[in-house]
Structure 1
Amino acid sequence: MSDRQIEVIPVTNKRERADFVDLSYRIHADDPHWVPPLRMEAMELVTPGKNPFFDHAEVQHFLAKEGGRTVGRISAHIDHLAIAQPPEQGMGPGVGNWGLFEAEDATIAARLIATAEEWLRDKGMHRVLAPLSMSVWEEPGQLVAGHDHSPTVMMGHQPARYRDWFEALGYTKAKSLYTYELDITQEFPPLIQRIVASGEKNAKIRIRNVDKSKFDEEARLILDILNDAWSDNWGFVPFTDAEIAYAGKKFKPIVREDLIMVAEYEGEPVAFMMTLPDLNEVLKPMKGKLFPFNWIKLLTWLRNPQVRTMRVPLMGVRKRLQSSRLASQLAFMMIEYIRRNAIEKYGSTRGEIGWILDDNQGMVAIAEAIDSRINREYVVYQKEL
């Protein structure tokens, strides 16, 4: 192995950025459960000026080359919003990240990760949390359980062998992130039904759909609740105004008013639940390409998305209410209303909630109360530099 000529180079131009993106399609070509992202979106993710993550982060992408071939890739990055967070919440000063990792074998992996570590060390970082691809809000963690089925929209899917490579290089678990699945055709347990019915009798509570005609206003409201609700969570990084606008533009085509709920108490919006039809179900056979004819299929699907799975990527209750009974009642009411709509209007049979931090007792309790079970586990690793 010592005589292998593996060169790791920084990505500096558009052609190298294209090589960076293209590698993942080749690495995962034989994995029946990997969902190829649309290539145009994959390019946008790693392009300064397109992805607002670059506005508050230093980023360097690297390619591994051997015999003229691209055989690996990695992104090293420092999120200045993340290092400004309290250290007890996982991020904080001196914590850098790497992600968007792909490699053909363990030797290439070691070279790439060593390069990312050196880059971070040279920038004054003393600890790594990885993989984050690239923001904690995008695809955090390495998949360690659940390789036997495809991920839902906005969730990652990495080969099991990557875990062994990371751990062999001294990386240990910082946190597990779970997704929970449930059969939404089944009514929730009687206790949950009683909690929902009680809430419906409370004149102070109103559960409403979002209003897509006020999309920007509703997006700002939801992100305001989110930034408040999640502010004490491990790994939290606040959304910027640019990221709110970017996320809104990205999600607008798949947003359905009756799948995103806002809970009001005494007239004040205090909680929300976002549910998205699983776009991956229609994207998977497209193999990352919209042209020549896949764009027609996608537009047709977007007009009336009939999907097996609905994903709940985000929900939140304002921090001051989180330890109250009202918080769980509002959550159960929103889940139940969305469950009914998903079945009746979109033909859905399955739900997925997550990701949820392994020590988020409130959300774990809600997931367990509605008879959902863990179907995927992702691990965010840590290492001292």
Structure 2
Amino acid sequence: MRIVEVATRKDLKRFVQVPRHLYSGLAGFEPPLDFERMQLLDPKRAPFFGHGEAAFWLALDAAGRPLGRISAQYDRLTPPERAHIGHFGCLEAVDDGAVVAALIATARDWHARRGRRILQGPYTFSINEEAGLQVEGQEHGAMILMPWHPPYLGAHVEAAGLVPVKDLLAYVIDLDHAAKWRGMTVAKASGQGQMTTRMLDLTALDREAELMTELFNASWNDNWGFVPLAAPELATLLKVSRPILRANHATFIEVDGKVSAFAFGLPNAYELFRGLDGRLLPFNWARAAYRLLTHRFDSYRFTLLGVRSDLRDTTFGARLPMAAIAQLFSQNRNPGSLEMSWILDDNTRMRRIIERIGGTVYKRYRLYGDAGPAGGDAEAPAGAAP
């Protein structure tokens, strides 16, 4: 086995294709589209590289066939108190502990040479994108903007010396079960004027991204592992998702004409990609286009939630997340299921809200790091927001 750093665009394309070479045929695995992964990872195109840096490696056997891959990255938006923590991500590997250990050692060395003595992950690239290694629920299939990993991978990560740091949960809610919450309203606080709701403005996605970013960061800045979401990253997500994006995929609650809370979700784009093996060329583009025009989605992911900072710790503000979720239900009446993800396992406040509307945990993702508080376990208390 040898570890080779990605140095060219051709190398990066090979890096992108590793999961389908390793996991094809495993229950629940569906490869993402190559072009979408290139937009996420390519330093020339991905918004992350406006405020971060990364390197990529392939593990190859003697014949040059892929055995695994990993990235090492650092987000310059990371708060100073966590500047000593380096992240790894994009981890995929065959069922071989030696391969996983070699990849993790490579990422660790990259960070050590830059003065970061603690390793934590996986993140692709940050906690605001795809976070965690899936340890439960693989059989339920892939979900948009959530990672998928084979069941054996977590044990190899621990054998390589990393320990569990935090679990992230994905809930599933039957939309018919949630119907009773549709139309829920929140009483106005005294002294407040008109309260209205509106949907996503598809003609002003950059502006909508700015609004959602502001509210998201205000709501979650006390949460464990928080790194500010950058508006260009969310704007890019909205634009890349434009073929499946509809106005009813977001709801905004306005108080006296000022956006005070929002909820946002997306249909599960993997439903369009099934059977395409991650490729659109030479002929899969026609199949994908036909599906885009005719497909009725069965699964959705509730992705982002936020509340205005000055309302967050008020009684009125505490009720706004539930109202925003209920309004999103009202705008999306298709039968099927809704995934709400991800939620910190010790965020009891948010978990109670979700469980009140019938949510049950059906997938679990795990973040790993070096043992001890220096690995990031001693931070702001989880569950403080929203």
> Is the CA contact 1:28–1:34 (under 8 Å) kept in the aligned structure 2?
yes
Partner of 1:376: 363
Return the alpha-carbon distance in structure 1 between the equivalents of residues 370 and 119 of structure 2: 5
Greater CA deviation, 293-302 or 254-263? 293-302
Structure 1 gap segments, 5+ residues each: 1-5
> 2: distance between equivalents of 1:25 and 1:187?
35
The answer to whether the Cα contact below 8 Å between 2:244 and 2:267 also exists between their aligned partners in 1 is yes
Matched-pair identity in %: 30
Amino acid aligned to 1:175: K
TM-score normalized by the length of structure 1: 0.88
CA distance in 2, matches of 1:340, 1:270: 19
Aligned residue number for residue 25 of structure 1: 20
1:3 aligns with none
Match status 1:103 vs 2:93 = yes
SS of the equivalent of 1:271 reads strand
Look up the match of 1:220.
Answer: 210
What is the distance in 2 between the residues matched to 1:214 and 1:303?
Answer: 23
Is residue 2:184 matched to residue 1:196? yes
* SS of equivalent residue, structure 1 residue 118: helix
CA shift for structure 1 position 144: 1.1
How far 1:215 moved relative to its partner?
A: 2.5
Change (3 A) 1:271 1:36: same
In the superposition, relative to structure 1, how do residues 37 and 187 fare at CA in structure 2: closer, same or farther (>3 Å)? closer
C-alpha contact 1:199 1:329 (8 A) present in aligned 2? no
SS at match of 1:239: coil
1:349-374 Cα offsets, whole Å, 9 max, x none, are: 21111111122233112101111111
Q: Assess if the C-alpha contact under 8 Å between 1:74 and 1:116 holds in 2.
A: yes
2:75 is the counterpart of 1:47: no
> Residue 179 of structure 1 contacts residue 354 of structure 1 at CA under 8 Å; is this kept in 2?
yes
Q: 1:286 touches 1:294 (CA, 8 Å); kept in 2?
A: yes
Match of 1:168 in 2: 159
Question: What is the distance in 1 between the residues matched to 2:193 and 2:295?
Answer: 34
Q: Which position in structure 1 is the counterpart of 2:298?
A: 308
Structure with the bigger percentage of helix: 1
SS at structure 2 position matched to 1:313? strand
TM-score, normalised to structure 2's length? 0.88
| Alignment RMSD (CA, Å) | 2.3
Change (3 A) 1:86 1:264: farther
- Aligned partner of residue 319 in structure 1, secondary structure: coil
Give SS of 1:315's match: strand
Q: Which moved more, 1:283-292 or 1:162-171?
A: 283-292
For the pair 1:10 / 2:1, whether they are aligned, the reply is no
Q: Distance in 2 between matches of 1:215 and 1:320?
A: 25
C-alpha displacement of 1:305: 4.9
Amino acid in the other structure paired with 2:130: E
Which residue of the partner structure matches residue 327 of structure 1? 317
CA contact (8 A) 2:249 2:264 kept: yes
Deviation string, structure 1 residues 115-173 (Cα, Å, up to 9, x no partner): 11111111111111111122222211011111221122111110111110111122112
Q: 1:351 aligns with which of 323, 332, 338?
A: 338
Runs of 4+ deviating beyond 6 Å: 200-203
* Contact kept? 2:28, 2:138, Cα under 8 Å: yes
- 1:326 counterpart letter in structure 2: F
The Cα shift of 1:109 comes to 1.0
Q: Which residue of structure 1 aligns with residue 378 of structure 2? A: none
Aligned to 2:328: 338
**Would you say the 8 A contact 1:188–1:370 is kept in 2?**
no
Instruction: State how many pairs are aligned.
Output: 368
Q: 1:229 is matched with which residue? A: 219
Q: Does the aligned pair in 1 maintain the 2:69–2:93 contact within 8 Å?
A: yes
Paired with 1:372 and 1:328, the residues of 2 have a C-alpha distance of 19
**1:254, CA displacement in angstroms?**
2.2
Assess, with a 3 A threshold, how the Cα gap between structure 1 residues 311 and 244 changes in structure 2: closer, same or farther: closer
2:125 aligned with 1:137, yes or no? no
Decide whether the 8 Å contact of 1:196 with 1:329 is kept in 2: no
Query: Is it true that 1:363 corresponds to 2:355 in the alignment?
Result: no
Query: Is contact 2:168-2:364 (8 Å) kept?
Result: yes
Give distance in 2, aligned partners of 1:304 and 1:227.
36
The secondary structure found in structure 1 opposite 2:236 is helix
Q: Secondary structure at the match of 1:289?
A: coil
Cα deviation, 1:211-233, whole Å, max 9, x if unaligned, reads 21222222221122112222222
**C-alpha distance in 1, partners of 2:315/2:295?**
35
